[in-house]
Amino acid sequence: MREFELIRQFFQHEQADLLLEEKAQASVVLGIGDDCALLRVPANKQLAISVDTLVADVHFPADAKPDDIAERALRTNLSDLAAMGAEPLWFTLALTLPKNSPYVSEEWLRGFSRGLFRTANQYEIVLVGGDTTSGPLSITIQAMGAVEPHAALRRDGANIGDFICVTNYLGDGAAALAVIQDVLQLGEAHGHYLRERFYRPTPRLVEANLLGSVASAALDISDGLVADLNHICEASDLGAVIDVENLPLSPALLSLNDLHQARTWALSGGDDYELCFTVSPEKMPELAMLIAQEKINATIIGEIVSGSGVRCELDGEAYELDSAGYQHF
């Protein structure tokens, strides 16, 4: 298959089916097919841009289903937009495929493109360009979104006494990887739940939108809670204490009957794509209201303190971590 035929067939043609025509027409002056895309940034908004690369057998198993790979790639990028409080607008896709491999087959590309556009439609983000090359399988997505000036959820806004909160459950990402790698066996339902969490993490866009006027700092957890919370600490020049007892664990994780393992995954496993955010005591009633109204599922897990670094405590005593998050090098 030739490069241009591949682009037209799987990435340009699909665009015609998009439910997003209205959004695309409003903001995309020129999409796929020229040297650059021409985009109209919404008036009086700031552009939020993030790029992430997923490498086969590092970020996903190379033999995973192509639509699963595509969904995960786009969803993890959408998670970065959510973490900033940005509304998704556009993305570009740089796809590297090994020559003469199963990945350049009609079947694989059809599946990949199906998963990609299913997610793009769901979250209303428009593919506006990309690059196609040969080499080891990898997927780079650059996501772009819009955010009101001064409304972005940055890492440097935490203050002493702020509560530290997380959305949904922690530790599922690491447990899911263990299930996918066949080193952990759980029942059918829990196994399915975790696999879904791995390939289809939910970018917390709705929550981020609600937290815009509530949170003082935020990020998404991709490398593990402790490692990522430490980024908030460094950017805000403060420290944090996590109450290990309060870590929210899913029924799947609890079914392990190994609380220590579950907590270790929650603290230092990667791939959760939940939001970690801080809230001042004055803003806590607003968050409590959002939680009570079930508009947002969040748990208080700790507090911002003076000093530096992240400390974990259980029953008032220091809780030692087994490992501190995923690091590439």
User: Which residues of this chain interact with Mg ion, rule CB under 5 A?
Assistant: 131
Whether the CA torsion 281, 282, 287, 293 is positive or negative: it is: positive
Q: Residue 128: which of 25, 230, 277, 214 has the closest Cα?
A: 25
Q: Which does 298 bind (CB under 5 to 8 A by kind): ligand ADP, Mg ion, none?
A: none
User: Which residues of this chain interact with ligand ADP, rule CB under 6 A?
Assistant: 7, 11, 32-35, 93, 95, 127, 129-132
Residue nearest to Mg ion (CB): 131
Q: Which does 282 bind (CB under 5 to 8 A by kind): Mg ion, ligand ADP, none?
A: none
Judged by DSSP in three states, 126 sits in: strand
Q: Which does 127 bind (CB under 5 to 8 A by kind): ligand ADP, Mg ion, none?
A: ligand ADP
User: Closer to ligand ADP at the Cβ: 13 or 40?
Assistant: 13
User: Closer to ligand ADP at the Cβ: 31 or 61?
Assistant: 31
Shortest Cβ 116–Mg ion spacing (Å): 19
238 Cβ partners below 8 Å, 6+ apart? 158, 159, 160, 304, 305, 306, 307, 308
Q: Which does 117 bind (CB under 5 to 8 A by kind): ligand ADP, Mg ion, none?
A: none
User: Closer to ligand ADP at the Cβ: 24 or 93?
Assistant: 93
User: Closer to ligand ADP at the Cβ: 130 or 157?
Assistant: 130
Shortest Cβ 12–ligand ADP spacing (Å): 7
Instruction: Name residue 147's amino acid.
Output: V
Q: Which does 33 bind (CB under 5 to 8 A by kind): ligand ADP, Mg ion, none?
A: ligand ADP
50 Cβ partners below 8 Å, 6+ apart? 77, 80, 81, 84, 142, 143
Distance, in Å, from the CA atom of 263 to the CA atom of 249, rounded to the nearest integer, reads: 8
Q: Residue 60: which of 252, 195, 261, 185 has the closest Cα?
A: 195
Distance, in Å, from the CA atom of 8 to the CA atom of 12, rounded to the nearest integer, reads: 5
| Residue 294: C-alpha distances to residues 288, 289, 297, 298 (Å) | 10, 8, 7, 9
Shortest Cβ 132–Mg ion spacing (Å): 7
User: Closer to Mg ion at the Cβ: 131 or 258?
Assistant: 131
Shortest Cβ 83–ligand ADP spacing (Å): 24
Shortest Cβ 134–Mg ion spacing (Å): 12
Distance, in Å, from the CA atom of 165 to the CA atom of 245, rounded to the nearest integer, reads: 13
Length of the chain in residues, anyone? 329
Shortest Cβ 3–Mg ion spacing (Å): 9
Shortest Cβ 262–ligand ADP spacing (Å): 39
- HSE-up of 135 (CA within 13 Å, CB side)? 9
User: Closer to ligand ADP at the Cβ: 130 or 171?
Assistant: 130
User: Closer to ligand ADP at the Cβ: 5 or 35?
Assistant: 35
Q: Which does 11 bind (CB under 5 to 8 A by kind): ligand ADP, Mg ion, none?
A: ligand ADP
Q: Which does 7 bind (CB under 5 to 8 A by kind): Mg ion, ligand ADP, none?
A: ligand ADP
- Which of left, alpha, beta for 56 (phi over 0: left; psi -120 to 50: alpha)? beta
